Structure 1
């Protein structure tokens, strides 16, 4: 049972904890709707390579190739709740400092919002399309260069420049803020500051994040807004006055939400992490119409596809256990991941 602290006539106030507004809401994706459904299947239509046009023959545009697609199934999974009571006797003895409405607001600001932010950061990091393993933590001397490297890598993968947010834990924000290349906050205005924006670098909006919000071994993250879908399907809060069995108030709340990285847009998330936490990419060896896949990281699970789809997100991906049959023209793609680490790059080999 939680301790009940009775108030004296000289202490009518509650010392409230500090809280932060959501740091992730402005960067969430809302391109897909989960209304009326727990599962959404996202179809990504493939492309075909260009051919040399022939001025003679039957198939002058090239041999027709059936247009395929990749299916990614997104299943809502995080369903959290809370419940608390405020007994009328305790309320009276504490000079009404535990008002139900204030208690509900306090729970939302200090517990629910931070939880959702931490959840999203973790899901985004573990589903990122670009994970860069760094041999050491960023320093004041190289942090700007590392951030520009992230932007260049995303540019090379054709990620739109508009809509990128750089999330920096406080430890590394300090290093960036001391750099001459950093653009200050003056021109962004107070409204932006209240949402965690502290400046701009390489065209990216910069948000500083409490160190405790970030996943382990992640130094910073760049996210393009449209790379994820982050549904909040149910956000419910109720205050019951004098319910059966209680003289006082019963407060209940529920948040049903999730966060998903869209496979076709996964390169819109760049994660800089400790090299020791990034799983080594698997090797693919083909001999006698068999493909053997191996990971250099102990305990890593390897998933693969043979249809050319990205095994990190495709419904056709399978867990590797033994050499698989392959045929000429098959495209073997595989990646590895550990339970606590971050996914490897995808190894791609055409038979």
Structure 2
């Protein structure tokens, strides 16, 4: 029987593949991130300056000020889970049970919670929020255009914006855009982009303005917050947000190593958080449904 290290090596590539394929926020991971090694917070320097004034040939340059302040980002989410599979249950299915359960756990529990938490944090800290409204095929494009206009007004760069849309609205968006079909063998009416923005469709169960993070004592995972709204869409300039996973590691113990019972043991722990930079909050726009 393989030892725990070798067994973990066998399963980690599949876990990574599931994350890359199923997460809808992974595309906003920064190429470079602050170093949280050994700490649970970092400080980011925010700098602002005054504008120009008139140059005087007698007195020279007008005196201006530079304001510098530190913004603290502190990780708050430390989550985990332990799963056990009886030795015989796993061996009788040629080792497939353990892999199926752990893979399903990542795909159905870890990834949705990570995405949902991030969107809720971004929605709460968004610098621009539309009035809550239900959207139809006749109003959805105008609402998206208004979000673009609002960002343009705040001089948020246009290149790189991402449009996250509730998957329930996909049919409305497809109906809202007129098309002329040719004689193609295959037809797809799903929009992949809109006015230069990439479109990412978000499962509705990951798209709330607030969450309840269950502690595992009576309920597991997450749930829509009691006063939260369903999000219709979010327009995000990725440089306005920061998302980090400091620690995400599975630990695997064989039945021989497991001192509690004769079973394979899978432990997973994740330490993460997500932030909107205070100076760049206008780079996040949220449009939500009315709450009932």
TM-score range, shorter chain: 0.7 to 0.9
2:197 is the alignment partner of 1:204: yes
Deviation readout 1:30-78 (Å, 9 max, x if unpaired): 543233131111111111121122222x3x322x233111321100111
2:80 is the alignment partner of 1:81: yes
Q: Extract unaligned runs of 5+ from structure 1.
A: 1-17, 185-192, 278-351
Q: Extract unaligned runs of 5+ from structure 2.
A: 1-17, 182-187, 209-228
- Cα–Cα, structure 1 residues 90 and 250, in superposed 2: closer, same or farther, change >3 Å? same
Aligned-pair Cα RMSD in Å: 2.7
Aligned equivalent of 1:223: 236
- Cα–Cα, structure 1 residues 109 and 29, in superposed 2: closer, same or farther, change >3 Å? same
2:243 is the alignment partner of 1:244: no
Which stretch of the first structure deviates more once superposed, 71-80 or 265-274?
A: 265-274
Q: Alignment partner of 1:45: what SS?
A: strand
Aligned equivalent of 1:163: 160
By how many angstroms is 1:274 displaced?
A: 4.3
Partner Cα separation in structure 2 for residue 263 and residue 244 of structure 1: 48
Partner Cα separation in structure 1 for residue 270 and residue 93 of structure 2: 31
Q: Where in structure 2 are the equivalents of 1:248-327 lying within 5 Å? A: 248-274=263-289
Bigger Rg, which one: 1
Q: Is the 8 A contact 1:22 1:113 kept in 2?
A: yes
Deviation readout 1:321-347 (Å, 9 max, x if unpaired): xxxxxxxxxxxxxxxxxxxxxxxxxxx
2:27 is the alignment partner of 1:50: no
Q: Is the 8 A contact 2:90 2:98 kept in 1?
A: no
Aligned equivalent of 2:150: 153
- Cα–Cα, structure 1 residues 198 and 86, in superposed 2: closer, same or farther, change >3 Å? farther
TM-score where L is the length of structure 2:
0.76
TM-score where L is the length of structure 1:
0.64
By how many angstroms is 1:181 displaced?
A: 5.2
Q: Number of paired residues? A: 244
Q: Alignment partner of 1:99: what SS?
A: helix
Partner Cα separation in structure 2 for residue 100 and residue 140 of structure 1: 45
